[in-house]
Amino acid sequence: MHPSLLQDAGCPKEIPHNEKLLSLKYESLDYDNSENQLFLEEERRMSFLGFKCLEISRWVICGLIGFLTGLIACCIDIAVENLAGVKYFVVKQNIEKFTEVGGLSISLILWAVLNAAFVMVGAVIVAFFEPGAAGSGIPQIKCYLNGVKIPRVVRLKTLVVKVCGVICSVAGGLAVGKEGPMIHSGAVVAAGVSQGRSTSLKKDFKIFEYFRRDTEKRDFVSAGAAAGVSAAFGAPVGGVLFSLEEGASFWNQMLTWRIFFASMISTFTLNFFLSIYNKKPGDLSSPGLINFGRFESDVSVCGLLGALFNILNYWLTIFRIRYVHQPCLQVMEAMLVAAVTATVSFAMIYFSNDCQPLGPDQSEDYPLQLFCADGEYNSMATAFFNTPERSVRSLFHNPPGSYNPLTLSLFTLTYFFLACWTYGLTVSAGVFIPSLLIGAAWGRLFGILLASITPDGSIWADPGKYALIGAAAQLGGIVRMTLSLTVIMVEATGNVTYGLPIMLVLLTAKIVGDYFVEGLYDIHIKLQSVPFLHLEAPATSHWLTAREVMSAPVTCFNRIEKVGTIVDVLSNTSTNHNGFPVVVPVCGLILRSQLIVLLKHKVFVELARSRLTQRKLQLKDFRDAYPRFPPIQSIHISQDERECMMDLTEFMNPTPYTVPQVYTVQLWPLGEFHERFPSSQATELGRTPVSLKWLGVLMHHPKCN
């Protein structure tokens, strides 16, 4: 362990100016099953029927996860639509009143104040109550699915703050979407439902106790994330692939099937309730929060803009980490952005002279006439004076000629900077929709320009298709997901013929973008100093062996160990490992959390002899303590007790994953490393350039052999 390289980034004043800094406040999930004697006994006692019941409960939980996630999505959608509707109605009335008599500055102020008010509420709850609910939550969920435990990320409080926060920020007119937070919400729902209790509410339903361990919980969380994607985009298969692409370190066939079930239920629930809300029960035409409508075919370009977005946002985030870490400052920044967004939008609309005739089908939701002739509306306003979802849909589907090129260029430019400024504010907000909006605008612009230079371009005529391709490219350039994003876009457009062009565009965007900078989520993961391991080791480090990447000497215990030694090792901050090999005379692995429970219950050899009546420790005791194990400091061990002995045999995992010292890194994809050897000893590797910085593994200990 090199303290100079690994340091705690919990202190907000420290900023990671160096890529070698990784925070020690993050633990990894204990993905490896602790197959100790207690566990094996329980398994042996369990009948075939017992296993079936477990399997059925897993399905029931997944169904519940899907249902609740769909319900939450439905609530968010209805709340946003109504709040935004009221806001736009008030502002529109005001603008109409003042267009004739002059004094539009009052309208501007009204709009800015309304926006700032909404955003203030959203920012205050996030900054003061639950900072973990900031942002889209996708980076955190990505870390969790890959085996890094981010503190407080799946708490009930986070969920509540997230939901309220996203409603406020979208209604507040920020350049944000509500799709990312849905994914986080789904994950929290899953973590809560699957445990059958709420630690925050101090309520234990005494069900699903078998699932109270990291392995099972992570699996359910992946189902929750999938249900979130499914509800957000009406894309159940896309949801499954998202969970897979982002959390592929562990894979299980039955799990996929359950994830798919949760996704299906989620989109179906949302669809059902929204249909009822829209008074068209049985119509089932709104499978997702955003629905692109149906498209009837195309090819295109790439993601330099995505890379630029990421670079700008990277600098901005570093600036924020350095200077904007007071909650008050954060709230004020968010309000500032809201007011600026309103002002810029207003200015753009005010100075625009792009008037379009109002169609008979009234496809605009809040058409602004302003200085246009009667029966016409301001085209810039369809882009700015609208929720981002509706703007995207207008760009995809409005007939050719609805926007003039100047409007689109100005819109693209301003919205790009607004969205870039917005992401990373202390509000809960997603980056999907703004990215799609930017991409759709320049895609449509490109389509218009192409149509103007090809006079007979009948098949090039629909700029909406370019908008779709542009949106995919921009989003791909920013988030760098490929497989799942293709499927999500295909499902959201409902047309498989777009699959190939969208995939090619996403691939190009990813390759071009990766040449310059990482994806936005990866940047934010890195800026939070999370020890995230990618699925594969860098190709050029394939021949590194386990011996070379492990810390030495290994901190380990004897099978029967003195309590004092255990307490000392656990208290020692320089060796805060999470798992310890047990070496003499048998070889096994014991976790920090298990030791804590043992110490708390004072399972000492001497006491067992004296107190014959002492209850034998059950698996239940470990499950009840999960997941918030007390720190070692809170457990009082007297000086006498320090001299007692503890027998670890029954509690240690006698069959941990072990690898020979000569094993190369290639054989162990890093993600698997992370999940297989999570709680073992961390080390720091100076030899490789990028991702192989943090690695935990229990090696063949010489004494074990």
Q: Look at residues 515, 448, 447 and name the one whose alpha carbon lies nearest to residue 480.
A: 515
Nearer to a copy of itself, 11 or 254 (CB): 254
Is residue 221 within 8 Å of residue 183, measured between CB atoms?
no
φ, ψ of residue 582 in degrees (nearest 5): -110, 120
Handedness of CA 38, 43, 49, 50 (dihedral sign): positive
N-term to C-term CA, the chain? 25
Write down the residue that tokens 């919990």 correspond to: 10
Is residue 270 within 8 Å of residue 74, measured between CB atoms?
yes
Is residue 454 within 8 Å of residue 201, measured between CB atoms?
no
Nearer to a copy of itself, 196 or 656 (CB): 656
* Shortest Å, Cβ 499 to a copy of itself: 5
Nearer to a copy of itself, 215 or 565 (CB): 215
CA angle 683, 688, 694 (to 5 degrees): 25
* Shortest Å, Cβ 675 to a copy of itself: 13
* Interface with a copy of itself (CB under 8 A): 33, 35, 40, 43-44, 48, 51, 234-237, 241, 244-245, 248, 251-254, 256-257, 260-261, 264-265, 267-268, 271, 282, 284, 287, 297, 459, 482-483, 486-487, 490-491, 494-497, 499-500, 503, 535-536, 539-540, 542-543, 587, 654-655, 658-660, 662-664, 666-667, 669, 705
Is residue 133 within 8 Å of residue 76, measured between CB atoms?
no
The H or E element containing residue 695 is: strand 694-696
* Shortest Å, Cβ 549 to a copy of itself: 14
Cis ω before 399 (30° cut-off from 0): no
Write down the residue that tokens 């000893």 correspond to: 681
Nearer to a copy of itself, 21 or 479 (CB): 479
Q: Where are the beta strands (DSSP E) in 83-159?
A: 148-149
Q: Tell me how far apart the alpha carbons of residues 536 and 411 are, in angstroms, rounded to a whole number.
A: 40
Question: Phi-psi bin for 135: left (phi > 0), alpha (psi -120 to 50), beta?
Answer: left
Nearer to a copy of itself, 94 or 267 (CB): 267
Burial environment of residue 595 by CB neighbours within 10 A (0 to 12, 13 to 18, 19 or more): buried
Q: Tell me how far apart the alpha carbons of residues 578 and 696 are, in angstroms, rounded to a whole number.
A: 10
Nearer to a copy of itself, 208 or 403 (CB): 208
Nearer to a copy of itself, 207 or 667 (CB): 667
Strands 560-562 and 579-582: what pairing? unpaired
* Shortest Å, Cβ 566 to a copy of itself: 24
* Shortest Å, Cβ 58 to a copy of itself: 13
Nearer to a copy of itself, 56 or 605 (CB): 56
Nearer to a copy of itself, 58 or 92 (CB): 58
* Shortest Å, Cβ 155 to a copy of itself: 29
Kindly state the tokens that stand for 441: 């605008």
Helix crossing, 104-124 with 48-101: angle to 10°?
160
Q: Look at residues 275, 145, 324 and name the one whose alpha carbon lies nearest to residue 219.
A: 145
* Shortest Å, Cβ 379 to a copy of itself: 31
* Shortest Å, Cβ 584 to a copy of itself: 15
Q: Tell me how far apart the alpha carbons of residues 106 and 93 are, in angstroms, rounded to a whole number.
A: 12
Residues near 369 by beta carbon (within 8 Å), at least 6 away in sequence: 96, 99, 376, 377, 378
Q: Tell me how far apart the alpha carbons of residues 242 and 249 are, in angstroms, rounded to a whole number.
A: 13
* Shortest Å, Cβ 500 to a copy of itself: 5
Reported residue count of the chain is 705
Question: CA separation (Å) from 608 to 41, 613, 644, 651, 682?
Answer: 21, 8, 11, 15, 34
* Shortest Å, Cβ 672 to a copy of itself: 10
* Shortest Å, Cβ 281 to a copy of itself: 11
Nearer to a copy of itself, 4 or 540 (CB): 540
Nearer to a copy of itself, 415 or 663 (CB): 663
* Shortest Å, Cβ 427 to a copy of itself: 32
Nearer to a copy of itself, 525 or 659 (CB): 659
Q: Where are the beta strands (DSSP E) in 342-483?
A: 355-357, 376-378
Chain centroid offset of residue 57 CA: 26
Nearer to a copy of itself, 16 or 499 (CB): 499
* Shortest Å, Cβ 5 to a copy of itself: 25
